[in-house]
Amino acid sequence: MRTDPLPSPAPSSTEVASPWPTQPYFVREVPIWPPVVLAPMEGVTDLTFRRLIRQIGGAGLTCTEFLPSEGLRQTGGQRGRIAWTAQFDDDERPISVQIYGKRPEGMAEAARIVEAMGATIVDINMGCPSKKVCSNSGGSSLMADMGLAIEIVRAVRAAVRVPLTVKMRSGFDHSARNAPELAWRCQEEGVDAVTIHWRTRADLYGGQRAVDKIAEARARLSIPVIGNGDVIDVDSARRMFADTGCAGVMVGRGAMRDPWTLLQIQRAIEGKPAVQLGAAEKERVLLGFLADLQARFLRESGALGRFKKVCSHFVRGLPFGEEALRGPLLRAESAAEAADHARRYFAHLAAWEAGDPEAMRPLLPAGPPEPPQANTDDEALAGAEAC
Ligand SMILES: Cc1cc2nc3c(=O)[nH]c(=O)nc-3n(C[C@H](O)[C@H](O)[C@H](O)COP(=O)(O)O)c2cc1C
């Protein structure tokens, strides 16, 4: 007769463990909660956009766009422009400042400058596919030259005391999806966390979702691994946590499409219901963003250009946004005109939300729908200026 204890019953198939993290992750001693990071985005995530996201909430960490290490070290006009791009508010904590480049000493010097500016974390870009960065052997081209990548990490690690992180893709191309190995070597050199975008450099912004390398890195590393790529809402965030076991998620384009994305993910993590947003609140936030841009940019054209860039994504997250708002906003010749179009759209939207099914009709084109406009990410990538 058996005397050993019976095995406990298998958990019922309906009990699925929650994929949501319950603890902050730590970039060395810096706690990140919620474990949701606003991605660095060149020409987007400057002070103004990051203020917008911080005002809404949901980001445990914000990042500057990449800064060229060689430019940071210069004096004069270029340095001034870069310093302007790198600005952050005193209370924007924690803040990660990203640098890119190919010369270890240059990167080390740039990291010292960034540390002196007050960055909480220095981040090295090893993910950018743009020609501007890669032709300089920086960004994702470092994934194809692991020796140089590690030399850079070593030099930067020796140069600064603040925590150091690296952002990479899953590989340079499909024949070399080496993110787990590179990430592990970074960890051995003293890097405190890594972010992995599941696409390879060759994928640019296409490709089939494949998060296996994020999961593999997570299994091999003891430092936090942050999952990135197409996290655009609560469901995709849940899937990233569930499929990879990552410590946190990073949100890029989804934050332009819907600036409340990070907050909604935070609320889901904390077991709170989603925030319900109406036309009035969206209008208030959007027009506040435009006013902030006008205050920050010396020239109206600068503010308007930046506003249109974000709005080309934002309209996609709004009911009838593509048909009723995109065209007028993108054609506006002044900030005042853009604001008028937004007010008109939101007034109609409020009526529609209040139950008038015809309220949007005056704003919708009468004829057949316009052909879809080029995706700004594709445009940016075709221009090879964005990551
Ligand atoms: C307009 C734009 C600019 C970007 N600039 C940077 C950058 O400066 N540094 C960087 O590491 N990644 C940059 N990226 C890549 C994003 O940080 C992120 O890895 C990528 O968009 C995938 O995340 P998503 O699917 O949530 O957008 C940029 C992406 C976009 C769309």
pLDDT at 106 over 90: yes
User: What is the enclosing helix (H) or strand (E) of 282?
Assistant: helix 279-296
The residue ranges of every structural domain in the chain are 25-269, 279-382
Residue 192 Cβ inside 6 Å of ligand 1? The answer reads: no
pLDDT(1) > 70:
no
128: left (phi over 0), alpha (psi -120 to 50) or beta: beta
Question: Has residue 2 got a pLDDT over 50?
Answer: no
Mean pLDDT calculated for residue range 142-151? 96
Q: How far is the CA of 150 from the centre of ligand 1 (A)?
A: 22
Q: Active-site residue 186, yes or no?
A: no
pLDDT of 39 > 90? The answer is: yes
What pLDDT is recorded for position 98? 97
Q: Is the CB of 197 under 6 A from ligand 1?
A: yes
From 41, 46, 316, the mutation candidate for ligand 1 (largest count of ligand atoms within 8 A of CB) is 41
Pair 146, 181: CB distance under 8 Å: yes
Given a cut of 50, is residue 380 above it in pLDDT? no
**C-alpha span between 20 and 5 (Å, rounded):** 33
Name the burial class of residue 41, with classes exposed (0-12), middle (13-18) and buried (19+) by CB atoms within 10 angstroms of its CB: buried
Q: Is the pLDDT of residue 239 over 60?
A: yes
Domain 25-269, CATH class in plain words: alpha beta
Q: Average pLDDT for residues 336-357, to the nearest whole number?
A: 98
| Greater pLDDT, 7 or 62 | 62
Task: Using the mean position of ligand 1's atoms as its centre, give its distance from the Cα of residue 380 in Å.
Answer: 11
Question: Residue 109: what pLDDT?
Answer: 97
Q: Which of 128, 134, 186, 311 is catalytic?
A: 128
- Per the prediction, the chain carries an average pLDDT of 91
75 pLDDT tier (thresholds 50, 70, 90): confident
Percent of the chain predicted with pLDDT > 70: 90
Residue 377 Cα to chain centre, angstroms:
13
Strand partners, 176: 173
Tell me, using a 6 A CB cutoff, whether residue 44 lines ligand 1.
yes
CA nearest neighbour of 245 among 16, 18, 11: 18
